[in-house]
Amino acid sequence: MPQPPTTGRPHPTYRHLFTLPGTRAFTAGNLIARLPAGMLSVSAVVMIAGSRGSYALAGAVTATGLTATALAGPWTARLTDRHGQSRTAIPATAVAVLGSLSLILCVHYDAPDWTLFAAYAATATTPNTGGMSRARWAHLLADDPDSLHAANSFEQAADELCFMLGPVLATLLCGTLFPEAGTLTGAVLLLTGILIFTAQRRTEPPPSPTPKGSSPLRAPGILPLLAGFLATGAVFGSMEVATLAYTDATGHQAVGGAVLALQAAGSCTAGLLYGRLKPRGSAERLIRRCLLAMSIAMSLPLLAASTFDSLPALAVALLLAGTATAPTMVTAMTLLQHRAPESRLNESMSLAVTGLLTGIACGSATAGWTADHTSPTTAFWLPVAAATSALLIGVQGRTAP
């Protein structure tokens, strides 16, 4: 890929991004709408397990919702590209909110188990709020690659922040108020945020009623890129389950969420710092460097668990490992924006999210089986293997994250 033109201007700051008209308002709305992404699954697990006394049922319900989201996401994003964010996101959010409210009622009134699956599956229409925000930045900064890099870094840091704060807020609400409080609050935040976000029409990318070009899947370099997202998702899913299994096995189950939050904190910090740098070289070269760093970093939790067998050592290792994930995701998203057909940007980013979600589900399931049948320490090999797979895909395909 050719290198971006040199402008001679200083690298933009985050403050500069938010001097653009409308950017503060759409970002505020998007952050409000994005926070439930880290809340709803945890809230559903706490609510269902507390009511039905079965974590297996709670896990099956949330897995069904994850699968439904992976299937519905690209379809919803395709409608967004064709009809615009405001016309699509509001009705899609309304369906998702009704699904959350239905789940609350089904749990509260002890409805049959199958109704929980149906209700939670309806939340799959939740718009890809992070993707819509990135699409706005790509539209506004199409001629300013340095500013777009900073914007993508900010968005990745925002993702990490929401997934760091969301589970904490969900467990706090469910534990201190009532079991349904987390799901109810998440639904209200989602609807409120989407209404604020879609009201900002000045920054909305124009719709493409008749998108030019073929499916994003046929665009050069997209398939290996999506395969890389799949492998990266497996890194996240396997690391989460391996960490929780390790803290449970060592008698520190209560702090499992806090230990995982350190990984998100490391990623959030690294994302913001990465956005302040001015990357040199092509995106393809940068992504391979990021993937190599991530492969090395994922060995740190394995080393902490197998060699030191210490929870403080694992906490430090996760914090350090997290610093490699945000730069990888930022560079991969930037590369996706370059490769995707312009009229199908939302759909392309939704396909990336689908790859991540599928990888997370596969990584979680594999790590859970490994932890049960071998040991939690052995499960820490899986993030290393997944990160190495992403690196090999990047080297072979030249475009994978």
In this predicted model, what pLDDT tens digit does every residue of 358-378 receive, in sequence order? 887 788 778 878 888 888 899
Residue 82's closest CA among 203, 198, 216, 207?
Answer: 207
Q: Give yes or no for residue 293 having a pLDDT over 50.
A: yes
What tokens does 118 get?
């149906």
Give me the mean pLDDT over the 294-311 stretch: 93
Give me the mean pLDDT over the 253-275 stretch: 80
Give 387 or 367, the one with higher predicted confidence: 387
Give 130 or 212, the one with higher predicted confidence: 130
The answer to whether domain 21-152+163-210 has CATH 1.20.1250.20 is yes
Give me the mean pLDDT over the 327-345 stretch: 79
Give 382 or 38, the one with higher predicted confidence: 382
What pLDDT score was predicted for residue 90?
92
- State whether residue 67 is helix, strand or coil: helix
Pair 160, 271: CB distance under 8 Å = yes
What tokens does 401 get?
């994250």
What pLDDT score was predicted for residue 275?
76
- Are the folds of 21-152+163-210 and 214-401 the same? yes
Q: Give yes or no for residue 160 having a pLDDT over 60.
A: yes
Give me the mean pLDDT over the 278-300 stretch: 86
What pLDDT score was predicted for residue 135?
85
What pLDDT score was predicted for residue 2?
38
What pLDDT score was predicted for residue 128?
83
Pair 355, 284: CB distance under 8 Å = no
Main-chain dihedrals φ then ψ at residue 367, nearest 5 degrees: -65, -40
Q: Of 132-146, 263-277, 286-300, 333-347, which one has max mean pLDDT? A: 286-300
Domain residue extents for the chain: 21-152+163-210, 214-401
Give me the mean pLDDT over the 240-258 stretch: 78
Give 145 or 257, the one with higher predicted confidence: 145
For residue 155, what pLDDT band results from cuts at 50, 70 and 90?
Answer: confident
What pLDDT score was predicted for residue 270?
86
In this predicted model, what pLDDT tens digit does every residue of 98-149 receive, in sequence order? 999 999 999 989 899 899 999 999 998 888 888 888 888 888 888 788 888 8
Please, what is the average pLDDT of the chain?
A: 83
What pLDDT score was predicted for residue 232?
92
What pLDDT score was predicted for residue 118?
93
| Lowest-pLDDT range of 128-132, 218-222, 268-272, 387-391 | 218-222
What pLDDT score was predicted for residue 46?
77
Q: Give yes or no for residue 10 having a pLDDT over 60.
A: no
What pLDDT score was predicted for residue 273?
84
Give 211 or 173, the one with higher predicted confidence: 173
Q: Give yes or no for residue 8 having a pLDDT over 50.
A: no
What pLDDT score was predicted for residue 200?
87
The CATH label, of 1.20.1250.20, 3.20.20.70, 1.20.1300.10, 3.40.50.300, for the domain at 214-401 is 1.20.1250.20
Give me the mean pLDDT over the 165-171 stretch: 77
Helix (H) or strand (E) holding 148: helix 145-176
Provide the whole-model pTM. 0.75
For residue 212, what pLDDT band results from cuts at 50, 70 and 90?
Answer: low
* Residue 219: HSE in the Cβ half-sphere, 13 Å Cα cutoff: 23
What pLDDT score was predicted for residue 214?
60
Q: Give yes or no for residue 313 having a pLDDT over 80.
A: yes
Q: What is the DSSP string of 16-62?
A: HHTTSTTHHHHHHHHHHHHGGGGTHHHHHHHHHHHHHS-HHHHHHHH
What pLDDT score was predicted for residue 22?
86
Q: What is the DSSP string of 180-220?
A: THHHHHHHHHHHHHHHHHHT--TTSPPP-SS--SS-GGGST
Give 247 or 56, the one with higher predicted confidence: 247
Spatial CB neighbours of 383, under 8 Å, sequence gap ≥ 6: 234, 235, 238, 239, 242, 298, 301, 302, 363
